[in-house]
Structure 1
Amino acid sequence: MATPKTIALDFDPALIPSGTLWLPRASLSACLRGVMVRSTVGAPLSDAQRLNHFPATPLCSLSWWFTGCSHMLEPSRPGGMAQLTDTRRPLAGRWVFGGPFTRPTSSWCPGPVHGMMVMFLPDALHALTGLEPARFTDQLVDAAGVLPPDWLAMCEQVQDAPDDAQRVDLLEDFLEPRWQACRPGLPLQAHRYGDWVTHLSQRAAVSGPGRSLRQLERRVKRWTGLPLRELRGMARSEQAFFDAVTAQVETGSIRWADIAADNGYADQSHLCRMSRRITGFSPEALLAGIEKEEAFWAYRIWM
């Protein structure tokens, strides 16, 4: 998988290292988007600094905690971003499986934590396990209740491994033969959401009887859990995000109207509405958070 362009914003020097993004070996690039590892062990963080913000995403996830735990925050206002004072819901199970999310989410860690999140392309996960991503849209569930027995044995091995590098190796060694046995004939690209959605549409168009737009959209939703229109919106939002960050680094300023026009938005207001829908924040607030706040570590990893 191609690594996003290397960039550097004006990060607050007080921020702890964001964590590590492990990119999959080439043979798994159409199966995994990446593996995020985050450790706050030994870092003197306040309660507010233990927040974690995540965007809406078409990806499915599988998560481990090697130290500590995490609680989901439930927003008190529908459609709003969760606050530290909102209801906290402990995650169920030793390992947690997540489906695609149509809205941004936030979690909070009550203490030091060392965890790992594996991010699967939903159609690949469907091919590997038979799970229907649509069943798990906007949900985090106990992985032991949904994954096949051989997957749970792999989870146990990963849990017991001595370090992150060996954990990722165990995961990839488990997935590689299974993926080679079930991967689609039409190769998919996964450099960014836009590439993936384009190739997913092509695959849907040549898979099975029927070539109508409605039949294509039904196949895509079955494989991914989200409508094709939603996937395209997320792809466009991701590209706008990278374009804005690149403009900030290369020129020192961002012309939001140009970013909106270049990525197919009706106008700057349309871009701002979609940013809030997918991340919970305006574009300016999102970039400021990435530069200054611990809670945005997941965004920093992708940069």
Structure 2
Amino acid sequence: MATLVSSSARQPDGLIPSGQLWLARPALSACVRGTIVRSTVGHVLRNEDRINRFPAAPLCSLSWWFTGRSETLVPERPGTMAGLNSPREPMPGRWVLAGPQTRPTTSYCAEPTHAMMVMFMPDALYQLTGLEPQALTDRVVDAQTLLPSDWIAMCAAVQCQADDAARLECLEDFLEPRWQICRPAQPLPTQRYVDWAAHLAQRAVLSAPGRSLRQLERRIKRWAGLPLRELRGFGKAEQAFFDAIAADTAGKSVKWADVANGAGFSDQSHLCRVTRRITGYAPQALYHGIHREEAFWVYRIWE
């Protein structure tokens, strides 16, 4: 059964305890990176607290809404972050499937909302469904238009469960026998991005004839939706995020030059450029948002 490993009950003062991170049962650890649950039901929110900020990520996701709905906030100019006055677009379906995202995204919940997002490793979703992550990159679609019929039946069954634990158990009972059939012979037991990217590169070399750089890149992009260079960039950014959290948890001041060096960036400016591309914010601004703004709840539950 999925395990609740992080809850935003450990929030900074003034922020609501509304987000949870669940990790899948061990048999699915190479398939599902984690499940995010968010409920604002029963909480009093300011208008700006209804915004949800998500980083770019190489994962695929499948989302449900049990109460309320979300809308996508569309940036008014490329390279800027959406805000309350940005144009809004409704989600494309009752259940939403998203591919790897190369840009940060923002959503808005006008009313109290209870939602769940399951994050799949993209190569695992490809193995399970035959959907190529490359065709889903930077897309958010109605799951009912792409997923196989048995998956749609599973989505409906999850929707009907009584609570989050039962919903996750229903999902995992569906996934586990299918994953056991199609999983790689030696799946990676842990899913830090840097290790996963290295594992994909090794699989690409061993999986089929033809080992030119172009052929290997094509295989990796078909499985993951993104080129290996970008996956390695996500790995460095993730390492920097966890290193900064570790320093903060230990009561130390976060020194961005040291974080950049430890994560493998060429210098602090390189870290700033990558962080801005993935999150929309420079490292210090992101750090401030995580500690003081409700909209950054998704970052807090990974701490």
1:192, CA displacement in angstroms?
Answer: 1.2
1:164-216 per-residue CA deviation (whole Å, 9 max, x = no partner) reads 00000000000000000000112223331112111111111100111222211
CA distance in 1, matches of 2:80, 2:40: 27
Match status 1:93 vs 2:93: yes
TM-score by length of 1: 0.95
TM-score by length of 2: 0.95
Q: Partner of 2:184 in structure 1?
A: 184
CA contact under 8 A between 1:96 and 1:140: conserved in structure 2?
yes
After TM superposition, the structure 1 = structure 2 runs for residues 76-155 of structure 1, keeping only pairs within 5 Å, are 76-155=76-155
Match status 1:231 vs 2:231: yes
1:106-144 per-residue CA deviation (whole Å, 9 max, x = no partner) reads 000011000000000000000000001111111110000
1:11, CA displacement in angstroms?
Answer: 4.9
Match status 1:14 vs 2:14: yes
1:249, CA displacement in angstroms?
Answer: 2.2
1:244, CA displacement in angstroms?
Answer: 1.1
Q: Partner of 2:69 in structure 1?
A: 69
Match status 1:221 vs 2:231: no
CA distance in 2, matches of 1:18, 1:291: 15
CA distance in 2, matches of 1:157, 1:43: 27
CA RMSD of aligned residues (A): 1.7
Q: Partner of 1:24 in structure 2?
A: 24
CA distance in 1, matches of 2:195, 2:267: 24
CA distance in 2, matches of 1:191, 1:185: 16
CA contact under 8 A between 1:73 and 1:87: conserved in structure 2?
yes
CA contact under 8 A between 2:18 and 2:40: conserved in structure 1?
no
CA distance in 1, matches of 2:287, 2:130: 38
Structure 1 range deviating more: 139-148 or 12-21: 12-21
In percent, how many aligned pairs have the same letter?
62
2:277 aligned counterpart, secondary structure: helix
Counterpart code for 2:101: F
1:72 aligned counterpart, secondary structure: strand
1:206 aligned counterpart, secondary structure: helix
Q: 1:196 to 1:18 in 2, by over 3 A?
A: farther
CA distance in 2, matches of 1:119, 1:248: 26
Structure 1 portions without partners, runs of 5+: none
CA contact under 8 A between 2:11 and 2:17: conserved in structure 1?
no
CA contact under 8 A between 1:186 and 1:203: conserved in structure 2?
no
Q: Partner of 2:250 in structure 1?
A: 250
Counterpart code for 1:61: S
1:89, CA displacement in angstroms?
Answer: 0.3
Counterpart code for 1:231: L
1:233, CA displacement in angstroms?
Answer: 0.2
Q: 1:176 to 1:166 in 2, by over 3 A?
A: same
CA contact under 8 A between 1:73 and 1:106: conserved in structure 2?
yes
CA distance in 1, matches of 2:136, 2:142: 11
CA distance in 2, matches of 1:107, 1:251: 32
1:150, CA displacement in angstroms?
Answer: 0.1
1:252, CA displacement in angstroms?
Answer: 2.2
1:88, CA displacement in angstroms?
Answer: 0.5
Counterpart code for 2:300: R
1:52 aligned counterpart, secondary structure: strand
1:46, CA displacement in angstroms?
Answer: 1.4
Structure 2 portions without partners, runs of 5+: none
CA distance in 2, matches of 1:189, 1:85: 43
1:264, CA displacement in angstroms?
Answer: 1.7
CA distance in 1, matches of 2:274, 2:244: 14
Q: 1:283 to 1:18 in 2, by over 3 A?
A: farther
Task: Point out 4+ residue stretches in structure 1 off by more than 4 angstroms.
Answer: none
Match status 1:173 vs 2:165: no
Counterpart code for 1:91: M
CA contact under 8 A between 2:54 and 2:104: conserved in structure 1?
yes
1:250-290 per-residue CA deviation (whole Å, 9 max, x = no partner) reads 24201211111122212111111110000001111111111
